[in-house]
Structure 1
Amino acid sequence: MACLLVGALLLVAQTDRVHSSSSQQSEGTLLQSLRYRSGSESNETEHNSPQSQSSITSQMIPQSIIIGVRKGGTRALLEMLDIHPDIVVAATEVHFFDWDENYVKGLEWYRKLMPFSYPHQTTIEKTPGYFTSIKAPERIHDMNSSTKLLLILRDPTERVISDYTQVYYNRLENHKPVQPIEEMVIKNGVLNTKYKAIQRSLYDIHMSNWLRYFPLNQIHIVDGGTLIRNPLEELQKVETFLNIPARIMTSNFYFNQTKGFYCLRSDGKERCLHESKGRPHPVVNSTVLKELHTYFREHNERFFSMVKQTFNWH
């Protein structure tokens, strides 16, 4: 009788261990499932059926970055590409690779600033300051050496004037004093080559830094002038470069006579760029314009040689 009692107690204890083990495994599986669903392990969020891979989105490090140039048309390019169903764009300029105070926050901080995307979509971030940054090329290369880079450029003299115009209006809005562009460009009777707006237009110098880390076939140059006059032509080239289906069409654009440039049409909605875009430029003294054109000529020739293509710049 005692033996039977001991055997029964052992059987109960063994059964309890089995149930306990099973319960722990179930809790572990549930916890793993909850982590998966919340994105703490996979960084993915399910919006529809969990069985469908196409329903899962995640925040991805960008496969393509618009690296510049400031006042070259980066915002227009980004918003036009945002029409494409296979592209998702970061809403703001992140300044991760050019600002040390952001870069030290780490790649995970950067990734979490990206939009959610489906597996087949390309994530694009744009920060115009990257092109002129000494550190950005190496940092982007360290993140992903296969990143596809988009660089939009315009006539360097026009870019200087546009750069000045942006600062001019910003200072007016903040009730700060402003100087005529001629006083910024010319100092003591000679061209002020230290003026930041001029430095940013030295495309050959900045490009040489990027070519130290990325091959030319990984950098696609968008003609900012053509993008304004014929956006579809330039965007089709970008689609080819990014190896995505051609989805942007003529019907996605309409010319706004009041603003004087193309606006966008998609998903039954029409929208133009922010009112700060397309502001009238100041009338610049012809002598100053000639000085700028002369100064940039040699730099432009070197740049054309680097990138193996030319642009219709004065």
Structure 2
Amino acid sequence: MEKTPSYFVTKETPQRISAMSRDTKLIVVVRDPVTRAISDYTQTLSKTPDLPSFQDLAFRNQSLGVVDVSWNAIRIGLYALHLENWLRYFPLAQIHFVSGERLISDPAGELARVQDFLGLKRIVTDKHFYFNRTKGFPCLKKPESSGSPRCLGKSKGRTHVQIDRDAVEQLRDFYRPYNVKFYEMVGHDFKWE
């Protein structure tokens, strides 16, 4: 098992993984691409305070609604395009998509689906989680062999930067056809609106 966030969006990765093992099962966590881009920007801003504004990076021309797809924070959310590349090397049946939103609202339910996809007995259940109010995320309860619970790192769970409502709506409009295509490809509506 390995986890690398950039695998899904790196063009050469599907071919390399397929060459290692065509039987690999893949799990991809996706979330609303607009929220994901804002989260990406918020995290980068925490490390680079002199970063240009979100709107300056997200748009080539905001008044015309021209989105800059060369900016990584925007490009990553074009899930349908990335999935097309993966489907050249792996059947859809070997790829499971986890809803990032439901991973927060119902972690045990999402992990039950992951366990089913992997053909594992359902061991992780509701009893393994508690909601951390400080983080705003569910965390794993303390295992008996450990002194502390497992929760997201310091860089996770921070409040997002406020983005102009018009910019958010423009991005929703931009992503809508990509989202619809993605829903059709995977047979699941993630309801990103």
- Taking structure 1 as the reference length, what is the TM-score of the superposition? 0.58
User: What amino acid does structure 1 have at the position aligned with 2:158?
Assistant: R
Candidates 163, 166, 170, aligned match of 1:287: 166
- List gaps (5 residues or longer) in structure 2: none
User: What amino acid does structure 1 have at the position aligned with 2:85?
Assistant: N
Residues 135 and 158 in structure 2, CA contact (< 8 A), matched pair in contact too: no
Deviation at 1:255, TM superposition (A): 1.0
- Residue 153 (str. 1) matches residue 30 (str. 2): yes
The 5-angstrom pairing of residues 5-84 of structure 1 reads none
Percent of matched pairs sharing the same residue: 41
| SS of the residue 1:131 aligns to | helix
The 5-angstrom pairing of residues 1-314 of structure 1 reads 124-172=1-49, 177-189=50-62, 190-268=66-144, 269-314=148-193
| SS of the residue 1:194 aligns to | coil
| SS of the residue 1:152 aligns to | strand
CA distance in 2, matches of 1:251, 1:304: 31
The structure with the larger Rg is 1
CA distance in 1, matches of 2:26, 2:107: 19
* Larger fraction in strand: 1
CA distance in 2, matches of 1:209, 1:258: 39
CA distance in 2, matches of 1:197, 1:240: 31
- List gaps (5 residues or longer) in structure 1: 1-123
Return the structure number with greater relative CO, CA threshold 8 A, min gap 6.
2
| SS of the residue 2:139 aligns to | strand
Shift >6 Å, 4+ stretches = none
- Count of aligned pairs: 187
CA distance in 1, matches of 2:173, 2:61: 18
Deviation at 1:168, TM superposition (A): 0.9
Residues 27 and 97 in structure 2, CA contact (< 8 A), matched pair in contact too: yes
| SS of the residue 2:138 aligns to | strand
- Taking structure 2 as the reference length, what is the TM-score of the superposition? 0.92
